[in-house]
């Protein structure tokens, strides 16, 4: 008797236009890799699609054979959802076309694009799509979960800037979702993750921008708690043009860090002003000392400056949550935790959302909480599997201590693979509506390698063709 993956392979062989890679194929070892080595798996077949017809064929073949199926864009799922053991990976890395309409300030990009491919194409026309901060991240996974980055306060979440999706649903059909067609699906795709199908094209709004003002500084010792308190107090009244991110970490042993700071706990600050530099000067003076170096950087430089901090193939583990307001004791606990961090590359990332993202009504998209602006992401980052236990334990312990002060909710794209119980918490009052959409478009839970919304048996949604 043939296994489900053998059946899938036989069904696709001969008609699939992309690459079908099995464990004995030369290209398989490289194609198997995902960003987080901690969740590496060995799929039975990687179907690297050349076009939408290949995606349809792969979905139909795996569905008919009953093969476990993962979908991969950039492979950056912290939880490792874009791979699986023994099953099929629908790999979209050959589908990276981007087109830009400068006049209309609109763009389209394919379901396998990395953020970098979109940034390069849109910058050629002096435009940007608001996305994340590391250019090798996949756009599809990021946008479907919500997506935030440097421009979120000014232009909203990535998902807020999507006007239409084209996807292949679990029965292999092509469906369009936008404000006029399949409106419930359009709502669900803006935050609901990869639960509803394989998105093959995104239609998006673009904004003019080519450069920004950036100031970066390191704080040490007692100044760390002080800067966190100032950040907390300042951000609620800050203009949308200003984004101020803080990372608590051990200062690296690199040339750009003063020798006496290396290896010590620090808060690394990045303050961004998007707009007229003169207008931003007073705000930047208020936030960072005028002595701190500010520079005008190109948008592409901004979008790639963190790329080397999060390389492929290391071990990563994360836990995340929101705060409505950040109390002094949570600040002190995070700072104290740095004294025992097992890996020097681990970071406690702090961002303040608010701005345009917070002005979108709670029910307008499926994205989780927009009302709690402080986002904390505890991201352990280490190299050796023998250190997995110590790093995971450190994150879990710190999360446990912070959790009582957090507000319920979590950003789905910052969750690990061991947090199924938190998925309803991520969507809160949007959960039942998401279950309804899932039940209609994927009643057998074919797309289940994601922060999963399990279907129920009944759904009463109208589908437009």
Ligand X SMILES: Cc1cc2nc3c(=O)[nH]c(=O)nc-3n(C[C@H](O)[C@H](O)[C@H](O)COP(=O)(O)OP(=O)(O)OC[C@H]3O[C@@H](n4cnc5c(N)ncnc54)[C@H](O)[C@@H]3O)c2cc1C
Tell me the closest approach of the beta carbon of residue 78 to ligand X, in angstroms. 5
Based on CB atoms, which residue is closest to ligand X, 147 or 321? 147
Q: Is residue 69 part of the contact set for ligand X (CB under 6 A)?
A: no
**Contacts (CB under 6 A) with ligand X, residues 407-436:** 413
| Options 99-107, 133-141, 228-236, 279-287: segment touching ligand X (CB under 6 A) | 133-141
In 3D space, the residue among 174, 161, 227 whose CA is nearest the CA of residue 365 turns out to be 161
DSSP 252: P
Choosing from 65, 73, 217, 435, the residue that interacts with ligand X (CB under 6 A) is: 73
**Contacts (CB under 6 A) with ligand X, residues 32-51:** 35
| Options 127-135, 218-226, 291-299, 455-463: segment touching ligand X (CB under 6 A) | 127-135
Quote the CA–CA distance of 47 and 91 in Å, as a whole number.
Answer: 6
Q: Is residue 438 part of the contact set for ligand X (CB under 6 A)?
A: no
Q: Give the DSSP H/E element, type plus range, for residue 253.
A: none
Contact 81, 449 (CB under 8 A): yes
Question: Given the DSSP bridges, would you call strands 242-250 and 265-273 parallel, antiparallel or unpaired?
Answer: antiparallel
Choosing from 44, 87, 141, 354, the residue that interacts with ligand X (CB under 6 A) is: 141
- The C-alpha angle with vertex 78 and arms to 74 and 82, in degrees rounded to 5, equals 50
Q: Would you report the helix, strand and coil content of the chain in percent, each value rounded to 5?
A: 35, 25, 40
Based on CB atoms, which residue is closest to ligand X, 77 or 345? 77
| Options 4-12, 117-125, 126-134, 252-260: segment touching ligand X (CB under 6 A) | 126-134
Structure-token match 């057998």, residue found: 444
Q: Is residue 348 part of the contact set for ligand X (CB under 6 A)?
A: no
**Contacts (CB under 6 A) with ligand X, residues 303-322:** 310
Structure-token match 């009953």, residue found: 66
Choosing from 71, 246, 380, 434, the residue that interacts with ligand X (CB under 6 A) is: 71
> What three-state secondary structure class fits 16?
coil
Cα first-last separation, the chain: 39
Based on CB atoms, which residue is closest to ligand X, 119 or 335? 119
Residues that bind ligand X (CB under 6 A): 35, 70-78, 81-82, 92, 111, 132-134, 137-138, 140-142, 144-145, 147-149, 193-194, 198-199, 310, 413, 449-450
């Amino acid at each position: 008797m043939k296994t489900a993956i053998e059946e899938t392979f036989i069904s696709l062989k001969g008609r699939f236009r992309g690459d079908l890679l099995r464990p004995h194929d030369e290209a398989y070892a490289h194609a198997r890799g995902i960003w987080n080595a901690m969740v590496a798996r060995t799929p039975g077949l990687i179907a690297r699609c050349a076009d939408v017809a290949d995606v349809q064929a792969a979905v139909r073949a795996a569905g008919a054979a009953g093969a476990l199926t993962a979908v991969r864009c950039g492979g950056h799922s912290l939880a490792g959802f874009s791979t699986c053991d023994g099953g099929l990976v629908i790999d979209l890395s050959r589908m990276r076309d981007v087109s830009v309409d400068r006049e209309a300030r609109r763009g389209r990009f394919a379901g396998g694009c990395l953020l970098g491919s979109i940034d390069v194409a849109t910058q050629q026309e002096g435009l940007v799509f608001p996305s994340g901060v590391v250019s090798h991240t996949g756009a599809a996974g990021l946008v479907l979960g919500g997506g935030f980055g440097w421009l979120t306060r000014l232009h909203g979440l990535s998902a807020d800037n999507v006007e239409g999706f084209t996807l292949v649903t679990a029965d292999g059909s092509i469906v369009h979702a936008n404000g006029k067609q399949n409106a419930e699906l359009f709502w669900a795709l803006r935050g609901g993750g990869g639960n509803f199908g394989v998105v093959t094209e995104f239609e998006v709004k673009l904004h003019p921008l080519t450069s920004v003002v950036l100031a970066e500084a390191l704080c040490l010792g007692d100044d760390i708690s002080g800067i966190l308190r100032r950040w907390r107090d300042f951000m609620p009244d800050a203009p949308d043009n200003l984004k101020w991110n803080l990372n608590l970490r051990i200062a690296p042993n690199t040339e750009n860090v003063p020798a006496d700071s290396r290896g010590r706990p620090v808060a690394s600050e990045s303050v961004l002003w998007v707009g007229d530099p003169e207008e931003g000067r007073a705000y930047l003076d208020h936030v960072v000392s005028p002595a701190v170096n500010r520079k005008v950087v190109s948008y592409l430089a901004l979008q790639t400056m963190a790329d080397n901090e999060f390389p492929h193939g290391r071990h990563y583990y994360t836990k995340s949550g929101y705060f409505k307001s950040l109390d002094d004791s949570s600040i002190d606990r995070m700072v104290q935790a740095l004294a025992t961090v097992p890996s020097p590359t681990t970071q406690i990332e702090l961002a303040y959302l608010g701005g345009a993202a917070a002005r979108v009504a709670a029910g307008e998209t499926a994205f989780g909480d927009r009302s709690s602006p402080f986002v904390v992401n505890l991201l352990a980052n280490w190299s050796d599997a023998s250190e997995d236990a110590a790093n995971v334990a450190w994150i879990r312990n710190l999360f446990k201590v912070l959790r009582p002060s957090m507000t319920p909710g979590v950003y789905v794209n910052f969750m690990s693979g061991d947090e199924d119980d938190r998925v309803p918490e991520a969507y809160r009052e949007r959960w039942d509506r998401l279950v309804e959409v899932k039940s209609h478009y994927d009643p057998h839970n074919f797309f289940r390698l994601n922060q999963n919304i399990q279907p129920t048996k009944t759904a009463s949604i109208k589908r437009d063709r």
